[in-house]
Structure 1
Amino acid sequence: MNNLTAGTVTAATDAHGITTITFFHPSHNSLPSRVLTDLADTIRRFGQDEQTKVIVLKSEGNRTFCAGASFDELQTIATKEQGLEFFSGFAKVINACRTSSKIIIGRVQGKAVGGGVGVAAATDYCFATTQAAIKLSELAVGIGPFVVGPVVERKIGTAAYQQLALDATEFRPAAWAHAKGLYAELSEDQEALDAAVQAFAVKLAAYAPAALQAMKQVFWEGTEHWDTLLLERAAISGTLVLSDFTRNVIRKAKS
């Protein structure tokens, strides 16, 4: 199994109606197209599931929540159409979170890079550990955070988004992400993180489903055009990934 076919997305629903969706990839939980598609489909499916009252979105492992785009797949992109298709995967995940009728709780145990920051920002309430530093590295790769930009900017504000997007080689600590609103709560370790996530999910699951659904719609008011916007942004990234600058950066990173 190569890095383009590796990776899993699993889901399980407990007695409280809490559905935990977990993604994994052996390369620091990076996201190739197959995992992106499976993740978006799973979020959409359980967003419509009557037994599910709240969704927890997490990844496996200890150190990295999500490394963002799969460099192995970026290397294979040869046309604008292929580039659009790949980056549309991130658009699908964000839009699946946005349009889900269920509140989605994020559980970020470690570093989030690029698209991983976008996944965290697409949740409705995000818990993290103090080790969960963030970085939007896309500009340093020659691409720019075009697809995840709207959801990150919505969560942390324009000024903070500009800082994160332009200072593309530096991690911001979890405390910075917490202060800017990306993370709602921080825990010292994964044990405390899991306890906090579970307690909050149980609390939400006891609320009236119709009220939660109505709040979800209110939270995301003004984003109805994102089905189109994020695809337009994916096309920009899909074109830039073909540049010599980006190909050289990826080649050096993989060597």
Structure 2
Amino acid sequence: MKNQTKLSGCPFNYDFCPQNDHYLKAHLFGDIFAGNQLSAADRELVTIAALASLKGVAPQLAAHRTGAVNMGNTKEQVDELMAFLSAKGLSQCDNAADANAGAWPKGVPNTAYAQYFIGNSHLARITPKNMGEEEKTVLPLSNVTFEPGCRNNWHIHHGARQILICVAGRGWYQEWGKEPIAFNPGDVIDIPEGVKHWHGARKDSWFQHIATHVAVPNTKPGAEPNEWLEPVSDEVYNQLK
């Protein structure tokens, strides 16, 4: 009871299910916490690292991040651990607080294009398993994950149209001179070649989309595939609702 109360911040009594209550207290908070392999503080850090690698455990991860502080770690230590796991591509749960989080991999930090983004994004290449290496270049697919508030600069695709498929979270898409469009799971955006646009996450939500490009015939040779332009300013972005 002492360990359980310290970890959770309040005592738990499962009167509706005494068998479960006995199991948690006797085994988890008794036998396991009584072991001398790890301190209670270190045990919580290990638990967080394990939960961060899994999908569908958002409530447990959130509870143990709080519990880790209750058991003797600082909030800064817990945040540093989560940042390390994210930077190494080991965490699948950075978007655990988002009920729309999907099963697509987050990938690794999108450092190659970071200069064209405000905020942090991640990139996971998607390659069909039944294709050879030469065939994979015919249909390039990527899952791009935007952290809350992250968006790319205004840009134009030359020589190809871009297709975006939202798979998780909530985002925005906007073409130059037009109103922004809310981008939710299942939505598909077909962007014509040569159209100036941007896309990214909402302020309070992670956002994932699959991106691919389809070549457009008879385009001007030698043009850069992506023409990156000015950032989407905070003034413009913060007006979106």
Q: Name the TM-score class by shorter chain.
A: under 0.3
Q: Highest Rg: 1 or 2?
A: 2
Structure with bigger strand share is: 2
